[in-house]
Structure 1
């Protein structure tokens, strides 16, 4: 069985061209955590600790009540199909966060307009991709 991945290496995902905010905003907390809430908490509190695959699977596991005992098999099943990556995340499409993947594929987020965001955008040694647009042109 082919295993797919959402990981990038040495890449910065810039906010979407049509992102409605010009600086990072923490996703609002709701009664049930949204994918953006889970992603934000994992990455903001633990920069460069998790890969994109780790974060995406954790979101899936929490939303689908996958127990610790089921996680190894659940992860294998989850990545047996292609999955959306951080380019489609509300963090970069709606809430104004750029996502940096380091050489090991571990991720950290930086709010648009911050010094670190601008440094990463202007660093020629890092590949850049834009988050997916919210609406078609």
Structure 2
């Protein structure tokens, strides 16, 4: 029996800059508007409070688990199914597109957020040892 391909959203030694059409000049915290957490809330809570603890895959899967109320009894099966197909990476995250947060992925694929206006963001965006990519634009180029 052939094994299914496993997809990943992880980057190594990469810095994801905010999108060129990001609407903010200073990083913002995603506001909780209801008792239901948004993708931005979950991602921010995990990464901002735990720099370099999680990979992109771990955060994106946790968003899926939280939003779909997955129980621990089916977690491993759900994880295998989830990663058997491709998913949007942090270049599509609301944090990098709308809220002004850059994302650094270290040599182990662990991630941390940096505010657009911070010295660390500026330093990482010019680091010749990193692959620098932009977050996806929200609007289409005409």
Provide TM-score, normalisation by structure 2.
0.95
Q: CA deviation at 1:22?
A: 1.2
Rounded Cα–Cα distance in structure 2 between residues aligned with 1:34 and 1:8: 23
Which of these residues, 71, 84, 90, is aligned with residue 88 of structure 2? Answer: 84
Rounded Cα–Cα distance in structure 2 between residues aligned with 1:86 and 1:108: 11
Residue matched to 1:112: 116
Q: CA deviation at 1:71?
A: 1.2
Residue matched to 2:16: 13
Q: CA deviation at 1:133?
A: 0.2
Q: CA deviation at 1:84?
A: 0.3
Superposition map of 1:32-111 within 5 A:
32-111=36-115
Residue matched to 2:6: 3
Task: Select the structure of larger CA radius of gyration.
Answer: 2
Output the aligned Cα RMSD. Answer: 0.6
Alignment length, in residue pairs?
137
Rounded Cα–Cα distance in structure 2 between residues aligned with 1:30 and 1:75: 29
1:24 matched to 2:39? The reply is: no
Q: Deviations over 1:21-61 (max 9, x none)?
A: 01210001122100000000000000000000000000000
Which portions of structure 1, spanning 4 or more consecutive aligned residues, are displaced by more than 4 angstroms? none
Structure 1, gaps ≥5 residues long: none
Residue matched to 1:124: 128
Rounded Cα–Cα distance in structure 2 between residues aligned with 1:15 and 1:68: 34
Structure 2, gaps ≥5 residues long: none
User: Residue 112 of structure 2: SS of its match in structure 1?
Assistant: strand
